Amino acid sequence: MKKREFLKKVAVLSTGVTILPSCGVSPSDENQKTDDKNKGADLDKEVKRIRTAHIGVGGMGAEDLKAISSHEFVDVVAICDVDFIASMAAQKLHPKAQVYSDYREMFKIMGNEIDAVIVSTPDHTHAPASMMAMGLDKAVYCQKPLTHHVSEARAMQKLAKEKNLVTQMGIQVHSFYDYKLATLLIQDGIIGKVKTVRAWSPKNWGYDGQEPEGKDKTPDTLIWNLWLGTAPERPFKKKFYHPGNWRKLMDYGCGTLGDMGVHIFDTPYNALQLDVPKTIVNNCREPNGFGFPEKNEVTYEFPGTKYTTENLTWIWTDGEGVPASHEDLKLPGDEVLHDQGAMFIGEKGRLYLPHFQLMPKLIVDGKYQEMDISKFKLEEPVRDYEAEAPKHYHQFIDACLGKDKCTAPFSYASRLTETILLGVIAGRFPNQKLHWDSATAKFKETEANQFLDSKYRVF
Ligand SMILES: NC(=O)c1ccc[n+]([C@@H]2O[C@H](COP(=O)([O-])OP(=O)(O)OC[C@H]3O[C@@H](n4cnc5c(N)ncnc54)[C@H](O)[C@@H]3O)[C@@H](O)[C@H]2O)c1
């Protein structure tokens, strides 16, 4: 089924369900209109608690559930997972919540009892579940990357804007001290205009092997058809798809770039106020139609912004042994580079941002330099994940209550995700420079356009 048809279905579902007027709606991003302030204030009076529904509660979904439900004004009312092991574990923690295995059924039955939806499924289900939630006027917290396809990212952004919904992408480090500090330092001009950014991760969420033959018995606890959802029909094979390994495969995930890249790209993307790139080239192996390449080097060229030189070059590398040594990545005294991170290379020096929860460092003429950070009004650093991670989630709930604004709304997340996905598509055309036209949302190389969208299976 094409995305358009799916949206039509969402609209039909919406008309058959009673929707709470403007529940979960409040100021969410820079696109908001001024009269939203009043809407937020009304909401504060009307809605004292936010009723959440969680789609996908195993793996990261369990973390999301924990962080969201730690907000004092949250009631978890619905839990949905296609694997009963995950949903039963979640229900133990929230015994009052109703349990579902099909999010469509959950919305049909409980559409008028939910204010906000948390989507923590594999990537290919982010858009189908979030679009349905937004079609019913729900606020949505969706895991990263926002979507599996560029067309979906654009559709999510459009719908969220049209309906003026509170939205947030699950890039929790966006709200962490070191990333906020790096953003302020770059925007303050500490290294002058930025020419190049390098970002790297040695993780390998690729698979160079062949598609497995045959099929294994589906575990009794798993509803495979619902796990596949809108993705093409495929027999179940142990260890290939569920849980977690779907990331390596084209039909469900977005490889290492879509996994770690979103987190590591986020700060430079935000700090430099980038839009989508003009050109993309991925230096990787030939596509095999099943798994992503195990090693990628993606070079993006972005149009300049007020924080960059006329153009900005961005080089992402992933896979075992990455990054190879490069002059831009040399640290003072031959210090060993952190295994994951980003380096901003500017006209007056470099800013090194190891991933994660580590202080950004200024390097000038091959030496670390002191930085005066006293002028930035930041809270003290909290270098404890458990303490810091909930901030991003609580910001979302506070935004639902009309008391805060989300800093990674879909208006932002969709552009960042589009950028990431363009690099993923470039992996299907190794070493070929692709030219992206943001205005028409098309590549100049027409053969690449088929990967911007995908058919939805009816399930
Ligand atoms: N922000 C972060 O730091 C972070 C970390 C890890 C994962 N993630 C993101 O979280 C998402 C999930 O990743 P994961 O590692 O937890 O994967 P996973 O495979 O371990 O878990 C996914 C869960 O979703 C369930 N699920 C699958 N399809 C479903 C459907 N149609 N309806 C309801 N439940 C469904 C699965 O049964 C499982 O419980 C991904 O988008 C991933 O990128 C984010």
Domain parsing of the chain, residue ranges:
3-172+393-409, 175-207+248-379+417-445
Check pocket membership of 293 for ligand 1, CB cut-off 6 A: no
| Phi, psi (degrees; rounded to nearest 5) at 207 | -150, 115
Q: How does pLDDT run across 312-328, given as a tens digit for each residue?
A: 999 999 999 999 889 99
Q: What pLDDT does 45 receive? A: 52
Residue to mutate, 120, 125, 391, ligand 1, most ligand atoms under 8 Å from C-beta: 120
Q: What pLDDT does 419 receive? A: 98
- Cross-strand bridge partners of residue 252: none
**CA distances (Å), origin 62, targets 68, 88, 89, 126, 208:** 10, 11, 9, 16, 30
pLDDT above 50 for 368: yes
Check pocket membership of 144 for ligand 1, CB cut-off 6 A: yes
pLDDT above 90 for 48: no
3-state per-residue secondary structure call for 13-27: HHHCCCCCCCCCCCC
Check pocket membership of 226 for ligand 1, CB cut-off 6 A: yes
Residue to mutate, 106, 132, 143, 168, ligand 1, most ligand atoms under 8 Å from C-beta: 143
Q: What pLDDT does 6 receive? A: 43
Q: Are 271 and 182 in contact (CB under 8 A)?
A: yes
365 CA to centre of ligand 1 in angstroms: 44
Closest CA to 191 of 381, 322, 328: 328
Q: What ranges make up the beta strands (E) of 174-331? A: 194-201, 279-283, 296-303, 308-318
d(CA 216, CA 449): 35
Q: What pLDDT does 8 receive? A: 45
The hierarchical CATH code for the domain 175-207+248-379+417-445 is: 3.30.360.10
**CA distances (Å), origin 17, targets 12, 53, 107, 124, 133:** 9, 16, 8, 25, 12
d(CA 11, CA 136): 8
Q: How does pLDDT run across 428-457, given as a tens digit for each residue?
A: 999 999 999 999 999 999 999 999 999 999
Q: Confirm whether pTM is higher than 0.75.
A: yes
Check pocket membership of 122 for ligand 1, CB cut-off 6 A: yes
Q: What pLDDT does 19 receive? A: 28
Q: Are 283 and 423 in contact (CB under 8 A)?
A: no
Closest CA to 141 of 117, 173, 161: 117
Q: Is 359 helix (H, G, I), strand (E, B) or coil?
A: coil
Check pocket membership of 80 for ligand 1, CB cut-off 6 A: yes
The set of residues, in sequence order, having a beta carbon less than 8 Å from that of 57 and lying 6+ positions away, is 64, 65, 79, 80, 81, 86, 87, 89, 90, 120
Orientation of helix 150-163 relative to helix 126-135, angle to 10°:
20
Total Cβ atoms within 10 A of residue 450: 11
* Least confident stretch, 34-43, 173-182, 332-341: 34-43
Check pocket membership of 254 for ligand 1, CB cut-off 6 A: no
Mean pLDDT, residues 140-145 = 98
Q: Give residue for tokens 């930085």.
A: 371
Closest CA to 170 of 271, 91, 59, 277: 59
Residue 176: band (very low, low, confident or very high) from pLDDT cuts 50, 70, 90: very high
Q: How does pLDDT run across 409-434, given as a tens digit for each residue?
A: 999 999 999 999 999 999 999 999 99
Question: What is the chain's Cα-based Rg?
Answer: 22
Task: Please give the number of the atom of ligand 1 that sits closest to the Cα of 60.
Answer: 16
62 CA to centre of ligand 1 in angstroms: 9
117 CA to centre of ligand 1 in angstroms: 14
The set of residues, in sequence order, having a beta carbon less than 8 Å from that of 74 and lying 6+ positions away, is 49, 50, 51, 52, 68, 397
Task: Please give the number of the atom of ligand 1 that sits closest to the Cα of 62.
Answer: 16
Check pocket membership of 64 for ligand 1, CB cut-off 6 A: no
d(CA 380, CA 204): 34
Check pocket membership of 303 for ligand 1, CB cut-off 6 A: no
Laid out side by side, the sheet with 434-437 consists of 367-369, 361-364, 349-354, 341-346, 194-201, 308-318, 296-303, 279-283, 434-437, 442-443
Mean pLDDT score of the chain, rounded to an integer?
91
- CATH class entry, domain 3-172+393-409: alpha beta
246 CA to centre of ligand 1 in angstroms: 10
Check pocket membership of 55 for ligand 1, CB cut-off 6 A: yes
Q: What pLDDT does 9 receive? A: 47
Mean pLDDT, residues 181-205 = 98
Q: What pLDDT does 411 receive? A: 98
Mean pLDDT, residues 377-388 = 91
Q: Are 378 and 181 in contact (CB under 8 A)?
A: yes
Q: Are 459 and 226 in contact (CB under 8 A)?
A: yes
